[in-house]
Structure 1
Amino acid sequence: MTPEASPGTDLVLAKVAPPSSAASTAPAAGDIARAPEAVKALELALPTAPAAVDKASTVPVKRGPSIRMPRVKKPTKKGAVSVVVMTFAAALVATMALPAYAFGGGGNFDSGVATDASLSGAQTLEVPDASAALAISRDNYKAPTTEELAASREAAAAAVAATEAANRAADAAAAKGATASGSGAFTVNPPSGSYSGAAIVAFAEQFVGVVPYGSGASPDTSFGCDGLTQYVFGAFGIYLPRTVSNQAAMGIPIAPEDAQAGDLMVYPIGHIGIYAGDGTMIDSPDWGRYVEHRPVWGSYYFVRIVA
C-alpha cells in the first residue's frame, strides 16, 4: 500500500489495493517486511496533541454586541387598512396643495405671468384725470321752500274742507229729495240761458244730492256717469251717445291749463264727469251714492264739446 495525502488534512493514509485473486489474500513476504515502516509513517502523519496553554499569558478576546435581526411580522388586516388610510390622506393633501401652489406662482405654469422676482423692482401706476373730461351739469330740481310747503298744506286742507262741504250738501239734497219724492216726480228746471260752460254747470248743479247713481239717463230714475252728461248736454240741444269712449270721441282734447267750466273730464278707467272749475267736478260716482259736486281726483284728461 502506498501512502496518499487526503485533502484538508495532514493525515497520510495507506492505500490498499484490492486483492486481484484468491492467492492475493495472503500477505507477501515483502509486505510483512515493510510493515514497520508503514506504521512509522502513519504515526508521523497523525497530529500530535496540542501543548498546554498558559492561561496567565493569554489575552482574553473581547466580543462585540450581538446583532439581533428584526423579525418580520405577518401583515394583518388592521395594518393594511392603516396603510390605505395614510395613502389616501397623503393624496388628499397633495390634491389640495397643488392648486394653492399653482395660484401662488410657485409652479409658474404660465410663462407669461410675471413672477415675484420680476415685480421686485420699482413700479409706477398712471391714472388719467378722468374728472377733467366730465362736464358738470345740474338738473332743474329744486327743494321746496318753507312757503311752498305751507301753501301745499293749505291747498290740501282746502280740498278736504270742500269735500266735507260737498258731502253735507249732498246729504241735505238727499233729504230734500226724499221729501219731494212723496209728493210727485222730480221737477227739472230748464236751462236759464244759451249754451255755455257756466250754463252747463248751473243746470247740472240741481241734480247734486238728489238723483242716485244707476244705469239710467233720467232724473226720474237714476244717472250713470255717462247718463248724467248725456242728459245735461241734451238739455242744450247737444246729443251725446252713451258710453264714456263714444262721448269722448265727440269732443276735442284740450290741455289742462286751458280747461274751463263745462268741459268734460274723461278718466281712462271708464268714468266721465263735468268740470265745474276751481279744481272741482260734478259727476255720478258709484252705486249707493248720489250726484256729487266734489274735488277732482285720479288721472284724467279734458275734452271740450263744441256746439
Structure 2
Amino acid sequence: MGARDVGLPEHLPRSGELPAEVTIWEVGPRDGLQNEAATVPVDVKLEFLDRLADAGLTTLEATSFVHPKWVPQLADAEELLSRLDRRTGARYPVLVPNARGLDRAVDAGIADIAVFASATESFAKRNLNSTYDEQFAMFEPVIARARGEGMAVRGYLSMCFGDPWEGVVDPGQVVAAGRRLLDAGCGQLSLGDTIGVATPGQVDRLVDAFAAAGVGVDALAVHFHDTYGQALSNTLAALRRGVATVDSSAGGLGGCPYAESATGNLATEDLVWMLDGLGVRHGADLDALVTTSTWMAQRLGRPSPSRVVRALAG
C-alpha cells in the first residue's frame, strides 16, 4: 500500500506559522548504523545511500572519520567514500572528530563536515575524553582549517535538554556552548536531544533563548531521539518557531547507549508523513523511503521501529 492509497491528499494549504520548506538532514547511514554490533557490508551501505538519494533526499550524512577503535562499524569510511556515487546537487557530510579526521576528509575530497561537541561537562568527559573547555580548544583549529579549505562546517551539540549525569540542562548553558561553535565558524548548529527526554515546552524555551542571544533560526537545526515518544512533537514545536532543518534517520535507525529504553532517531518516514499532512515541502518520496527502510531492516535482521514504515509496509 502506498502513501497516497490511505487518503493523504496530494496538496494541502500550508499553515502560516510553519516554514514553507524543510531540509531533511538524513543521518541514517552514519548515526543510524554506527552502533550496529554486526558489521554492515560496505556494499549494503553504498546501496543504502543510493536508495536514499533515489528517494529524493539531498543531504545524506555518509560516514564518520572517528577512529575505528571507537566506531568500528564505520572503519570503511575511505572505501565507502571512494566508491560512492555522489549525486549532482546532493551533499554528503561526514563527521570529523579532530585534526586527523580532517586530514582524512580533505584526502577524500569532502565538501561538508560536522564536529560533535557537548553542552555539558559530564558528556564531554565521557564521549570526547576532554573537559567542557578543552573540547572547544580541540575543535576551533579544525573548524578554522576546514573553512580555509572551502568546506561547510556543521556543529552538533549534544545533551541540549537533559544529561543522564547532570539532569535537566539549562537553556543558557546550551546557548553559551552553541555560540562558541558558531563563533568558531560553524555555519549551522544542530541541537541534539541525545537521550530523548525533551518536551515541546523545552524546545520553545531553547529556541527562544538562542533568539534572545542573537542567534536566528536560520542557523539552527534539531536532532531528536524518540525515547519517550516525543520526537515528532518536539519537531513540530521547532518548526513552529521557524526552524527549517530537521535531522532524521531512515527507518528510525540508531539509538542512544546512555538510555536503556532509547528507541533511536526520529524516523525520516514519520517526519515526512507529518510534513505532508502540514503541507510543508521536503522533496522526498515517502513510498521510496518506506521501500528502502524495509529493505535495510531485512538486512539488519529486525523490523523497522518507524510507525509509518510498519503501517505502509505491513
Report the TM-score when normalising by structure 2. Answer: 0.21
Report the TM-score when normalising by structure 1. Answer: 0.22
Could you say which structure has the greater relative contact order, defined with CA pairs below 8 angstroms and 6 or more residues apart? 2
